[in-house]
Amino acid sequence: MAFLNIEMIIPKLLRTSSEESWNDDIHAFSETDWDGILRQSLRHCVAPFIYQRLMTSFKEICVPEKVISRLKELNLYFTARNIRLYHEFDRLLDALGGSVPVLLLKGGHLAAFVYGDISLRSMVDLDILVHKKDLYLVANAMNKLGYTRSLECPDHPFHFAYMDPTRTVDLEIHWNICSEEARVHELWKDARSELLKGRRIWVLRPELLLLHICLHDAGHHFYLCGLRTFCDIDAIIRRYREEIDWEVVVSSASKWGITKSTYLTLRLAKEMMGAEVPEEVLTAIKPQDFKQENLLWARKAIFAPLSEDEPVSEHFAQFWGTSPYKSKMALFLANILLPRELMAKIYSVPLGSPYIYLYYPWRLIELSMRYGRSVGKISDESSDLRIGLEAEHSRILLREWLQK
């Protein structure tokens, strides 16, 4: 199936309303089309949603057996993984013995209390918020359970990641979700309690859960989570429709300094998933410097696949996307004439060695060899490399706009 069709079909399959007319197009999908839907459901972390929709709202559709079988396998896999994650969370609560307040974040909250079906919301890890003063107690409990600190992002400013002895379970222990200390007090002050497997645990109030998803997923420029972000937004609004105080959403987004990511995420959720975001809310948080191209960047970041065989570097994407010749040359030279400290690190040369200067000509040759063979493929607008470059460049532009 063509790329542009996938961009329309996947959100259409995911929408909660099944009344929308398909004009019988879906019955004409080929096996290749369904293979494309399967691949994109994995890329967008929505395979469990697609499986549920096909098994409920679209039961009359003839889907190839191998596609249904694969979706069923994925559904069972994510269900088993989530059961394991909640089991490990239960073990941690046992180890803490009720001495430490614990708040479930993101996927852990969504799967259990928003979707109400842990098979629907895929999770890579489980995110937990604790008070900073309790980190020592949590670390002791994790050690007793056999967990060790992950070496990935050891200096992360807001969380520690722990891996179990089998290296298959990742628990992230947060003491904040962003930089301002006052914000974490607000999270705890307004937290609500829920019952999970007979235990009282804490979760964010609906408005702050909504903002946390906007903050986290737009921060990753929508690429890592894809369409799942907007499924989450839609599900939160449907689950807490009568409770959400939109004035709190607007004021907190401003206070947190995330009006851009909130506006972009909520607007895309409304446009693609039919999420019931009030128009006056979007008007209230619309950034003054917003342009339609911001939406185009986001959509490219969401939908354009990157080739696993030819990953696109940020430097290459910046170079390709820069229009003026002088700007291209400045970027090219900046990537060759790196600081001596960085050259020493890259090429394992002592910083004080005079031989370090010999590596600058070699770097020119190396970069020419690395990217030279790719130049010819860029002219093909349908090539994975061209699509990947456009997506990476869109993510760069989106990031720069979000950070302004």
What stretches in the chain show pLDDT beneath 70?
A: 1-6, 16-24, 153-154, 179-182, 219, 221, 304-335, 367-388
Q: Distance between CA atoms of 113 and 123, rounded to whole angstroms?
A: 14
Distance of CA 360 to the CA centre of its chain: 37
Q: Distance between CA atoms of 224 and 302, rounded to whole angstroms?
A: 8
Distances in Å between the alpha carbon of 180 and those of 129, 175, 214?
A: 15, 11, 17
- 113-133 pLDDT tens trace: 999 999 999 999 999 999 999
The HSE-up count of residue 364 (CA atoms within 13 Å, CB side) is 6
**CB distance 171 to 104 below 8 Å:** no
Q: Distance between CA atoms of 153 and 161, rounded to whole angstroms?
A: 8
Distance of CA 327 to the CA centre of its chain: 31
Q: Distance between CA atoms of 157 and 142, rounded to whole angstroms?
A: 19
Dihedral sign for Cα atoms in the order 372, 376, 380, 383: negative
**CB distance 203 to 192 below 8 Å:** yes
Amino acid letter, 39 = R
pLDDT of residue 125: 93
Strand ordering across the sheet containing 126-129:
148-149, 159-163, 170-174, 126-129, 103-104, 199-203, 192-196
Q: What is the dihedral of CA 365, 332, 326, 312, to 10 degrees?
A: 120
Q: Distance between CA atoms of 35 and 357, rounded to whole angstroms?
A: 51
pLDDT of residue 334: 66
358 burial (CB, 10 Å; 0-12 / 13-18 / 19+) is exposed
pLDDT of residue 155: 74
pLDDT of residue 292: 94
* DSSP helix/strand/coil, 201: strand
Place of tokens 């995330």: 258
Region label for 258, one of left (φ > 0), alpha (ψ between -120 and 50) or beta (otherwise): alpha
Measured N-to-C along each axis, helices 259-273 and 228-239 cross at an angle, to the nearest 10 degrees, of 90
- 83-122 pLDDT tens trace: 999 999 999 999 999 899 999 999 999 999 999 999 999 9
Of 404, 217, 401, whose CA–CA distance to 291 is shortest? 401
pLDDT of residue 164: 92
pLDDT of residue 2: 44
For strands 159-163 and 170-174, give the pairing.
antiparallel
pLDDT of residue 372: 55
